[in-house]
Structure 1
């Protein structure tokens, strides 16, 4: 997998907001207030390790958006997370007839499968029937690389990290390594 164009939003504001339950007035969003609130945020995160619902709900306000290139077989697993919103994605259905299968398949797709896909696309191009279209679409290898823009938050990334860091698929382990690179990941996510 390849992750790029990463943006983190509202980290400072959400950390400051973690103390709102104890405030009598709205906070000042200053660097000093952030540093004071960060101590409290870390305590909340540490107090709730392992709990399904916790006191660190402020993590939902720390939003993360990124582009990801991934093999098709990861899609169903990504969709199980309730706040892993796909902003927009490449479309296998719309672009499959123009794909260069030599370039868009990962290293585990066999040469025979790639050659078969080229033959099926050629058959479709000669006769663009529904049957030929469905044959191409239905035989597309799971190792075809797709891409999308995603929005999520630190709370969901924490769930993903806890559930996938030792996953059988190397892509999930790589994704969890990427999570560790986010600002304050050690303190607020892991």
Structure 2
């Protein structure tokens, strides 16, 4: 973990080193949960996380874009 962290911090913030650190975390940090969100909350999540470094947020934002009436969330018109 420390080697991956040092490489990440000192060698250009490589995404592979970041992914290695995430994978080395205990499994309890990667648990899944069920949540209920309204469109206002999803809009806030979308605009704060759409450019996040973790791929999981990009996947979640793509899911938001596929929701019915997603134009209300992301502001695009069909």
Give the TM-score category using the shorter length: 0.5 to 0.7
RMSD of aligned alpha carbons: 2.3
Matching residue within 63, 73, 76 for 1:189: 73
Cα offset, 1:179, TM superposition? 0.4
Classify the secondary structure of the residue corresponding to 1:148: coil
1:158 pairs with 2:74: no
1:1-190 mapped onto 2 (5 Å cutoff):
108=20, 109-110=23-24, 141=26, 144-186=29-71, 188-190=72-74
**Rg larger in 1 or in 2?**
1
Q: Which has the higher contact order (CA 8 A, sep 6+)?
A: 1
Cα offset, 1:157, TM superposition? 0.3
Q: Distance in 1 between matches of 2:58 and 2:65?
A: 11
Unaligned runs of 5+ in 2: 1-18
Classify the secondary structure of the residue corresponding to 1:179: helix
Classify the secondary structure of the residue corresponding to 1:151: coil
Q: Distance in 1 between matches of 2:47 and 2:26?
A: 29
Q: What whole-Å deviation, never above 9, does each CA across 1:48-85 have from its counterpart, x for those lacking one? A: xxxxxxxxxxxxxxxxxxxxxxxxxxxxxxxxxxxxxx
Q: What whole-Å deviation, never above 9, does each CA across 1:140-181 have from its counterpart, x for those lacking one? A: 626853111101100010011111101111111111111011
Unaligned runs of 5+ in 1: 1-106, 111-139
> Number of aligned pairs?
54
Change (3 A) 1:167 1:143: farther
Instruction: Please give the TM-score of this superposition, normalised by the length of structure 1.
Output: 0.26
